[in-house]
Chains A and B, each alone.
Chain A
Amino acid sequence: MKLKKSFALLLFQLVIVSFLAQETNTKQTSITLLSTKTNYIVGEDIILNFKVKKDTVFQLYCSNSYGSIVLQSKVLSQKASFTVPRFLSKKRGILSWKIINTDETISGNISISSQQHPTSIETYLGPPSIDAGGLDYTMLVVIPTDSLDNPILDNSKVDVKYQFLKSENITPIYTDKLIGYKNFYAPKKSGRMIISSECHGLNSKEFDVNIMPAIATDFKIFTHRNHEYADGNQITTLYTSIIKDKNNNIISDGSYIEFYITDQKGGILKTAATTINGVAHAKIVHPDFEDTWKIKAYFIGIAESNTITIKYKKVIEDYNVAFKQHNRIITVGPLESFMGQLIPDGLSIKLSIYKNKTLIKELFKESNNGFASFYLDPNIYENNEYQVIIETAGIKKEFKSFKLW
C-alpha cells in the first residue's frame, strides 16, 4: 500500500517535472542576444551577435533615421552575427532592430551618436545687409557637422568671431537643436562687419554683413550761382548739406533727392539729383525774367530740407521795337544785358497779335546777336488794324491800333 502510494507520488512528481521541463523548453528562445553594447559613435562597426540553437539563417530588420533594411545573418557554430552596413552606422540617431523569423519578438535599440569633432561648419548668415542703429540685426546660423555629415552633439561650443571697425570680438555660443545661432545687432556706425566661427579648432569661411546707414534725417539746402540776373542762360546749382542718419552716418550714395521750386506765380519747377557722399547737386537754368523762387528739397517719404528763397534780378531794363515794310517786319532789339552786353542768344520773345481784342496768333522767336525779328506775312495777316503785344524778359510792350497795309 505504502509502496503504491509512494510510487503514485513519484509518478505524480515526475509528471509535474516533465511538464515544467516542457514548459521551459518551449519558453526558451531559439535566438538570444549576446552583444551588450547599445551606444556607438558614428562610423564604428556595429555587429550584433546572437546565440542560436540551430544554425539556420536569420533575418534582422534595421531601421535608422532615413529608412529600413533587412539583413541576413552569418551563422557560425551556434552564433549568428549581423553586420550593420556602414551607410546605416554612419548616421546619428536611433537604430532599431528586430529579429524577423522568430515567434517571440526580439528587438532593441542602438543609439548612435555623432563624433565630437566637426569637420565642417555649415554657416548661414542673413539678411546680408542691415540698418545701422542698434535695432536691426542679422543672424548667424551654424551647423557643425562631423566627417560623416552628422550634426554634432548638442551643447558643443562654437566660437563666433566678428570684427567691425577697430573692434574684434569672440563670443561662444552653444549648439542646441542641431544648430547654433547668434544675432548680431547693428552697431551705430555703418560699415562692414566680418564674421566667422570656430568649433574645436575648425574655422568656417569668412562672412560679411553690410551695415547700411539708417534712414536720413532732415537736412539743409544751399544754392550756388554765377550771378543773380535772370538771363535765362546761366545755371543755378542747388545742393544739400551732407545728409546723415540719426547716428551721423552719411546716407547711402545714390539716394534720390528732389528739389521743388515754387515761383512767384505759384508754378512748380522740379529738379532732382542723387547723392554722392551724402550730398546731392541738382542744376536748373536761370529764369529769363525777374522772379523769386522758394526752394525745398525732399528725400521722399524719409526726410526734407528747410525752405530757401532766392531772387533773380531783371537783366533788361528796356528794349526798342522797330517797324519796317508797312509794319510787316517787326525787329526787337538790341537786347542788352546787365553790363550793356548783348544778351546771349536764345532769349525767348513772344509776339501776340490781337484783332478786335481777340487773340489771332502768338509767335515765338529766340534772340540772335541781341535781336529778333518777326515777319507778318500779307497772305496771312490782311491789311487791317491790329493790336500787338511784345513780351520778353518780363517786359511787355503793347501797340494799340497797329496798322498793316
Chain B
Amino acid sequence: MVKTNKRILRGVLMLTYVIIIGILLFLVSSIFSFLNTGADRSKMLHTEVKKADQYLPKVTWILDGNEGRKISKQKIAEVENDYLDAWYVKHIAYKTNTKVGIEDYFTESARENIYNILNFNKSNKISVESTTLQHHLNLEFFSEDGQLIVLKDTDALEYKKVFKDNKLILETTEISTYKYVLLLEDGFWRIRHMVKESSEKYQDPHQKRTITDTNIKGINYYPQATPWNMYGDAFDISIIEKDFKIIKEANLNSVRIFVPYEDFGKANIKYEKLEKLQKVLDAAKKANLKAVVTLFDFYGNYDVLDWTLNHRHAEKIIEKFKDHKAILAWDVKNEPNLDFDARGKENVTAWLSFMIDLIKSIDKKHPVTIGWSNVESASILKDKVDVVSFHYYEDLSKFESKYLSLKENIKDKPIILQEFGVSSYSGLWRPFAGSEEKQAAYYKEIQKVLTRNNIPFMSWTLYDFDFVPKEVLGRLPWRTNPQKKFGFISNTGEKKLSYKYISN
C-alpha cells in the first residue's frame, strides 16, 4: 500500500515536472519567435509592399521634362504609385473617418490638416465617399538629391458623395488642379504641401453618337450548352458560328452578347478572354450580324471606390473593339435598375453616367445604351444615352400603349425593345402556365405590334437551356425552371412553334 502511494506520488511529481518544463519551453519559444517577428530587414524600407489593384484612376503624364534632375521612368512609376495611394488612403479616411494609412502618405505637418477635417466630420457625423477618375500629372521639379518633387495634377476629376447622419445630402463632381510638394521619406513619396489652384464644376461632355441602323431585328444570344458562361473552358467558336448562321438564316440581323465582369478578370482583363470575344465578334462579322455588347454582366457593387477598377475594365474592352465592324452599340449594363434598392439609385445612376462618359471618350463612333428592365425606368439618363433600351416581360396587351407613351417622352432618340419573350414552360412548378402554342401566339401577337410601330427589337432568346446558374435568378426551382424554356429552339435543337415568328 505504502509502495503504491509512493509510486503514484513519484509519477505525479514526474508528470508535473514534465508539464512545467513543457510550459516553460513553450513560453521561451514564443518569446523567441515574438522577438524575431518584424525584424525582417526587407520590410524596413517598404521595398516590398504587396500591391493589390484597389484604385486605378486614369493617369496620364505630361512628360515634357522638368527642372532639376532628370527623372527615370521607374521613379515616375514610383511617384505615381505613391501619389495614387495617397488619394486612396484619403478616400478611405474621409469615408470612414479614421486615420488609417494617412501617416504613410502625408508628412507630419501635412497630415494635421487632414486630421482636423476628419475630427470635424466625425463630430458632426459627416462622411464623404469619393473617388477620382482621372489625373493629368506633370512633374515640374525634381531635386538633385532625389528627395523632393514638385508635382502638378491638372484637371483631376473628383466625384464626391457627402453624407450627414448616414443620409446622402450632396453629390458633386469637380475638376480641380492641384500642386504638390512631395518628399521621399522612409521609402514613400509623402505629400508635404498641397495647394488646390483651381476648381470647377464638372461639365457633362454631351457627346452624341448616332446608331448606324435602326432596323434592328435581333436576338439575345447565349450558346445552348453554356448560357451565362459563354467564355469559359467550354468555349467553342464553331458552335457559335453555327448559331450565328441559324440567326442570320432566320432573317435576323443582330445579336446581343454579354461580357461578364469577373470572368473577364475585372480591372486586369485576361488576354485569353479578349481573344474569345474577338472570335465571337469576328464570327458575327462573318455571318453579317451586328452585335450589341453588354458590359458588366454579373457586376453589382457600384461602390464609389470600385469605379476606377470598372473603368479600367471597360477601357480595355472598348479600346480593343472600338473599330470592330460588327459592333452596333455598347450596352453599359444589363438591367441596372434592379440594383436600385440594394445599392441606391443615386449610386447606380452616377456609376452609369460616368461609365457612359468614359466609353464615349474612347469610342467616338458607336452609340451607348443601357438595358433597363422595364419601360418605367427607360427614361432615366435619357440625355446621356444615344439609344434608349428597355426590356418587356409584362402584359402583352399593355405593351403598345406603354411603348407609345415612352416614345412621347423620348422623341429625339431611337428606342429599342432589347429583351422580350415568354417561357413555354409548363410543369410541376407552374402547371399550365405556358406551352409552345402560347409562346408562338405571344410572338405572333407582339410581332404585329413591332411591325406596326416599326420598333427595333431583340428577343430573349435563341435556345432553351438545361441549366441556369444561381447568380441569374437564384436557386428557387419555380423561378429557374421557366427561365430554361424561353428559346425559339429547344434544348435538343428542334425548332419550336414560336420559331415561325422569330423575325416577323
Of listed A65, A87, A141, residue having the most chain B CB within 10 A: A65
B257 to chain A, nearest CB (A): 41
Contact B170 A178 (CB under 8 A): no
A180 to chain B, nearest CB (A): 10
* B273 close to A (CB within 8 Å): no
A56-64, A230-238, A256-264, A371-379 - interface stretch = A56-64
- Name which residue of chain A comes closest to B117, CB basis: A67
Task: Known A67-B128, A70-B126, A124-B145; judge A181-B117 contact (CB<8 A).
Answer: no
B213 to chain A, nearest CB (A): 40
- Name which residue of chain A comes closest to B145, CB basis: A126
Contacts of A59 in B (CB 8 A): 164, 169
- Name which residue of chain B comes closest to A143, CB basis: B181
Interface string of B47-75 (1 = CB under 8 A from A): 00000000000000000000111000000
Contacts of B143 in A (CB 8 A): 124, 126, 139, 141, 181
* A166 close to B (CB within 8 Å): no
* B80 close to A (CB within 8 Å): no
Contact B117 A66 (CB under 8 A): yes
Q: How far is the CA of A143 from the CA of B162 in the complex (A)?
A: 34
Task: Known A70-B124, A124-B143, A149-B109; judge A94-B114 contact (CB<8 A).
Answer: no
Q: How far is the CA of A178 from the CA of B178 in the complex (A)?
A: 12
B195-203, B302-310, B490-498 - interface stretch = B195-203
- For chain A, the bracket of interface size reads 35 or more
Interface string of A158-192 (1 = CB under 8 A from B): 00000000000000000001110101000000000
Contacts of B198 in A (CB 8 A): 94
A25-33, A96-104, A241-249 - interface stretch = A96-104
Contact B199 A109 (CB under 8 A): yes
Task: Known A94-B198, A100-B169, A101-B169; judge A177-B141 contact (CB<8 A).
Answer: yes
Task: Known A67-B94, A68-B128, A179-B181; judge A93-B169 contact (CB<8 A).
Answer: no
* A107 close to B (CB within 8 Å): yes
* B116 close to A (CB within 8 Å): yes
* B172 close to A (CB within 8 Å): yes
Q: How far is the CA of A125 from the CA of B143 in the complex (A)?
A: 9
**A/B interface sample: 20 pairs, CB < 8 A:** A61-B162, A61-B170, A63-B160, A65-B194, A66-B114, A69-B126, A70-B162, A70-B169, A88-B117, A93-B196, A93-B197, A96-B174, A100-B169, A126-B145, A126-B146, A127-B144, A178-B150, A178-B179, A178-B193, A179-B150
* Interchain residue pairs A-B with the least CB separation, the first 4: A126-B145, A139-B144, A87-B116, A93-B196
Given A94-B197, A124-B143, 14 other A-B residues pairs in contact with their CB atoms under 8 A:
A61-B170, A63-B160, A63-B174, A65-B194, A68-B128, A69-B124, A87-B113, A87-B117, A92-B195, A94-B196, A139-B69, A139-B143, A181-B68, A183-B144
